[in-house]
């Protein structure tokens, strides 16, 4: 791989350390460096993550107390950039994402290193119906916030980020630190002029899985995020329309 494309995998971990080993086995077979982020796990989880990092030759960084998914992903990205990586593939630790698609996402990112490569979930029957249909409300909000349907799914936490523009954005703007992170950062990167390339990927909801989604806190944060983004369109809309028109030319 070229110097302009040196990827690693970033996995934020909170309450999923006991589910992580099958994913690490698949990543080890791919020979892609991996950064584990211990997002405020308790003593037992922290010890387990340290053992997994040693066994599977992963980098390990930590934040205490728990700071939320977005905070953990950004910490992992900073850690990765400091070690010379140019791109980070974010994947959740709970087993929902199909690790077999990691090479497809990385190949798309290598072909377009300035873009964000985002997974589009292809669900099986395990998906909760309320969550499945509830995603469409966010899809509509994002299409309004970008005046585009280029971001086909903003909520999937399986994607590849170019580190330099993503971390530069996070230094300028406070990005949501919990479950609002995935949507807010991809919208704001689109506002910065980054292309979004979508790759279909299978998503499952494992039986007995542990969810970190907190309905009251996270739904409130997501609602406030969309309010901010929609208000930001008041002055961004003309520039976005002009940029989109230029891309068609």
Q: What is the pLDDT of residues 127-161, one digit of tens each?
A: 655 555 566 788 888 999 999 999 999 989 999 99
Domain boundaries of the chain, sorted by first residue: 7-248
Which runs of consecutive H residues, i.e. helices, occur in the chain? Answer: 21-30, 43-55, 69-82, 102-111, 129-146, 163-172, 181-191, 215-248
Across all residues in the chain, what is the average pLDDT?
88
What separation, in Å, do the N-terminal and C-terminal C-alpha atoms of the chain show?
A: 32
Q: Has domain 7-248 been given CATH number 3.40.367.20?
A: no
Contact 101, 119 (CB under 8 A): yes
pLDDT tens for each residue of 66-107: 899 999 999 999 999 999 999 999 999 988 899 999 999 999
């Amino acid at each position: 791989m070229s110097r302009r494309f040196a990827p690693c995998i970033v996995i934020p971990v909170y309450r999923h350390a006991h589910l992580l080993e099958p994913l690490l086995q698949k990543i080890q077979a791919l020979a892609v460096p991996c950064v584990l982020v211990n997002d405020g796990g308790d003593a037992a989880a922290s010890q387990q993550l340290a053992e997994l990092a040693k066994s599977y030759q992963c980098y390990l960084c930590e934040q205490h107390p728990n700071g939320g998914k977005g905070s953990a992903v950004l910490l992992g990205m900073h850690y990765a950039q400091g070690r010379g990586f140019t791109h980070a593939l974010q994947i959740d630790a709970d087993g929902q994402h199909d690790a077999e698609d990691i090479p497809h996402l990385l190949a798309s990112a290598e072909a377009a290193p300035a873009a964000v490569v985002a997974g589009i979930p292809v669900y099986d029957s395990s998906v909760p119906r309320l969550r499945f249909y509830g995603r469409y409300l966010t899809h509509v909000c994002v299409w309004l916030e970008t005046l585009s349907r280029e971001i086909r799914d903003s909520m999937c936490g399986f994607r590849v980020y170019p580190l330099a523009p993503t971390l530069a954005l996070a230094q300028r703007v406070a990005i949501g630190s919990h479950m609002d992170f995935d949507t807010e950062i991809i919208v704001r990167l689109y506002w910065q002029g980054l292309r979004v390339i979508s790759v279909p990927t299978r998503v499952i909801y494992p039986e007995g899985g542990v969810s970190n989604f907190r309905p009251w806190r996270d739904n409130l944060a997501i609602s406030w995020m969309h309010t901010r983004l929609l208000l930001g369109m008041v002055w961004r809309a003309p520039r976005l329309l002009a940029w989109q028109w230029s891309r068609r030319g």
